Structure 1
Amino acid sequence: MLDFGSQSLVSRGVEIYRLHNGAPPKRLIIYKTTDFRREEVDGCFDAWSKNENLDLISINQSTPWKGTLLTKQRNNPSKTWSSFYPVNRGTYLPTGEYQVLLWTQGNVSGIAPDNRPFYREARRIPEPILLTRWGGHGSWNDVVNYTLALTKMNWNNSGLYDPLPATLLVSSKLARFVKHMPSVSNLVNHKYDLRFFL
């Protein structure tokens, strides 16, 4: 059974992209903060119709995992010890066939003077987000790189990155905004620049 809400949402998004760019997107990743229901998965694939280059990913920000960076000891390279800086941002660890842990926060090289390590949060050990695939079979490396790129798309702050992709930040802000509107009919039938909601 199809979820016509997700089917129409994906169809409309692809059509808007096609009208703006002259061709449909080559790849589509749909993020949610909750699990995908079977009807939603069917609706998304029905709307995409290619059945390839589509990934349905849920993101869980609350995980019990932590990560520390191990470095080799100078006097004994066969041994390692815990570094003064956390795991590198962008590190990912598959935990099963359909799940991967991704550190969107952590040490970033090449930012600080003299190429020193840089950890924006400065304190506490960064926690990863858990990506779960509910549909699709693209490379985890691609999904991770796209997710990381989206964490750097909030142009309205001076931060190097956000912990979640901009698409999820925008949708949660938009949901809070819509709750205060007397009618959403005016909102639904118009196109808005993503930057207005960041």
Structure 2
Amino acid sequence: MSSEIFPHVWLPEPKLAFHPDRASDQDIHPLRGLLRFGPHSSGLVPDPIRVATLAPEGESHRLYDFLKQLNAPAKPSERRDYLPEWPGFQRVFGLHMKAAGGSCHVELDKELEAEFCDSSTPHIVLAERLVRAIQRLDTQRNDFDVLFIYIPQRWAAGYVGASGEDFDLHDHLKAATATRRLPVQLVREDKALAYPDRASVMWRIGLALYAKAGGVPWKLAEMDPETAYIGISYAVRPVESDRPRFVTCCSQVFDAEGSGLEFVAYDAHEVEVQRDNPFLSRTEMFRVMTRSLELYRRRHAGRSPRRVMVHKTTEFKPDEIDGCMEALHLCEAVDLLQIVEDVGWRGIRIDGDDGAKKGKPAAFPVSRGTLMGLGPREALLWTHGDVRGISDRQYFQGARGTPVPVRLVRHAGHGPWDETARAILALSKMDWNNDALYDPLPVTIGYAKVLARVVKRMHGLGSAPYQFRFFM
């Protein structure tokens, strides 16, 4: 048995585009690109962005002060080799942000606190009061763009339900507001208000606010214009639920620029469970792929993509493969790719040493973008690792640990791994709800997980597509 590993290649860091026409407005650093060129959708978002607020009695000023911080500069105290100074919302995005009219600011009644403390189910009390206030604000929907909700630390007992109860306050509120097509930003006292690096908080909230108002901060610069990327995730409702136990959530159907902003979701009925993982029948997979393809065509003047890449974290069963192929039969190429996070592989970079055959361990980890084939159907891709071109020295996000690759398993498709891996690397930079350089997973998977978690709490999914900005 040979001890040699497979040959490996390094794929450069994907570039982001910050203008629809000027090809020169590109950068690998998302925040640096925003400062240099402005957002991709500059001039297309209404100015100003109007913010409504919801807070406990007498505490609206906490949100007003927070909004003032968004308009003021802040210097980073962490990740200084990556995080630039926050110059203020208007300087970054080229438009203003202000509080909406007086009727768009609601405070919860003072009786809530006593009722919350005395209840054996504080999460139910809190959720009902917040949803009731959201319904009241929904009547003023034309007067604001994004709703900010202040969540104080003293409500921590209401963040989750009792042991074994499937309740999460964040997801519950997102489900309630997404049903109303109302973008919302939760501002927690123990997180957004207490986090010491104010520049980091402002970048995160500023990006989220711009995207939730309908803006596009950046797109991908170098992708095949005739390829669509689809991510699938499943959610499981509690056994005691009176609705179908499984929800199939198809994440955004991303186009070549990674700019898909909509997704489809529906209850799945023909599901087989193996090792706690749900798998769709041929009919169900055909249904979700057909609806996804329709969503792509609606955004591309009725054209079908030449190639489709479908991502999910579990394997593709034969019935699922058949359903995909039947739905996507007009496409020239179909790649069904399983992306596995939990792998036992690790990699250490060895630098060549003058005169030495073996070399020596490098001071930095394996480079992000390192691709190593394990065979015709499997490969390892380091989506996390050392990156060049971010600062004066090499940049390792998080600056700790040994980067773990993801394992790519191809259940349909053929050809070299390079194009498939490039797409995954690029899509790992398309999370507009984060100020980091990249996520460990592509948004086709990351967004699908978020969507499935929230969608399973929604009533009446309907057939219309949803915009992801309501779930961020």
TM-score normalized with structure 1 length: 0.90
Q: 1:97 is matched with which residue?
A: 376
Q: CA deviation at 1:188?
A: 3.9
Q: Which residue of 1 aligns with 2:418?
A: 141
CA change 1:188–1:139 in 2 (3 A) is: farther
Q: 2:395 aligns with which of 97, 118, 124?
A: 118
1 CA distance for matches of 2:356 and 2:471?
Answer: 49
Match of 2:446 in 1: 169
AA matched with 1:134? H
Whole-Å separation in 2 of the counterparts to 1:66 and 1:38: 31
Question: Does the 8 Å CA contact 1:151/1:163 hold for their aligned counterparts?
Answer: yes
Q: Is the 8 A contact 1:32 1:58 kept in 2?
A: yes
- The DSSP-based 3-state class of the residue aligned with 1:30 is strand
Instruction: Write the deviation string for residues 36-61 of structure 1: whole angstroms up to 9, x where unpaired.
Output: 11000000001000363210001110
In the alignment, what sits opposite 1:21? 300
Using the TM superposition, give the Cα deviation of residue 77 of structure 1 relative to its aligned residue in structure 2, in angstroms. Answer: 6.1
Moved more, 6-15 or 126-135: 6-15
Once the two structures are TM-superposed, the CA of residue 111 in structure 1 deviates from its matched residue by 0.6
Partner of 1:15, secondary structure, is helix
Offset at residue 195 of structure 1 (A) = 4.1
Whether the 8 Å contact between 1:45 and 1:51 is mirrored in structure 2 is no
* Cα distance, 1:145 vs structure 2: 0.5
Aligned residues: 191
How far did residue 189 of structure 1 move?
1.4
- Deviations 1:56-95 (Å, cap 9, x if unpaired)? 001110111111111122x436541110101110101111
1:111 and 1:17 mapped to 2: Cα distance? 34
Matches of 1:140 and 1:188 in 2, distance apart? 38
Deviations 1:125-167 (A, max 9, x none): 1000001001111431111011111111101111000011101
CA distance in 2, matches of 1:108, 1:119: 6
Q: Give the deviation of 1:24 after TM superposition.
A: 1.3
Secondary structure, aligned partner of 1:14 = helix
Residue 38 of structure 1 is matched in structure 2 by 318
**Amino acid paired to 1:56:** L
Q: Counterpart of 2:385?
A: 106
Offset from partner CA, 1:88-134 (integer Å, 9 cap, x none): 10101111110000000000011112xx2110120111000001001
Residue aligning to 1:72: 352
User: Which has the larger displacement, 14-23 or 142-151?
Assistant: 14-23
Q: Residues 188 and 129 of structure 1: is their aligned pair in 2 closer, same or farther, counting only changes over 3 Å?
A: farther
Distance in 1 between residues matched to 2:408 and 2:333, nearest whole Å: 17
Tell me which residue corresponds to 1:59.
Answer: 339
Q: For structure 2, which runs of at least 5 residues remain unmatched after alignment?
A: 1-280
Cα distance in structure 1, aligned partners of 2:297 and 2:330:
15
1:9-39, CA deviations, whole angstroms, 9 ceiling, x for partnerless residues?
1111111111211111222110111111100
Q: 1:132 aligns with which of 401, 406, 409?
A: 409
Change (3 A) 1:196 1:86: farther
Give me the whole-angstrom Cα distance separating, in 2, the residues matched to 1:194 and 1:99.
Answer: 31
Deviation at 1:179, TM superposition (A): 2.5
- Tell me how far 1:193 sits from its aligned partner: 2.4
TM-score by length of 2: 0.39
Match of 1:192 in 2: 466
3-state SS of 2:349 partner: strand
The amino acid of 1:48's aligned partner reads L
Larger radius of gyration: 2
What is the SS of the residue equivalent to 1:155?
Answer: coil
Contact 2:304 2:330 in 1 (8 A): no
Alpha-carbon distance in 2 for matches of 1:195, 1:138 = 35
CA distance in 1, matches of 2:362, 2:466: 45
- SS of the equivalent of 2:292 reads helix
Which amino acid counterpart does residue 166 of structure 1 have in structure 2? V
Name the Cα RMSD after superposition.
Answer: 1.6
CA contact (8 A) 1:53 1:138 kept: no
Q: Is the 8 A contact 2:311 2:339 kept in 1?
A: yes
Take 2:358 and 2:329, find their aligned partners in 1: how far apart are those partners?
52
Measured at CA, do residues 138 and 51 of structure 1 come closer, stay the same or move farther in structure 2, by a change above 3 Å? farther
- Residue type of the partner of 1:158? D
CA distance in 1, matches of 2:377, 2:471: 31
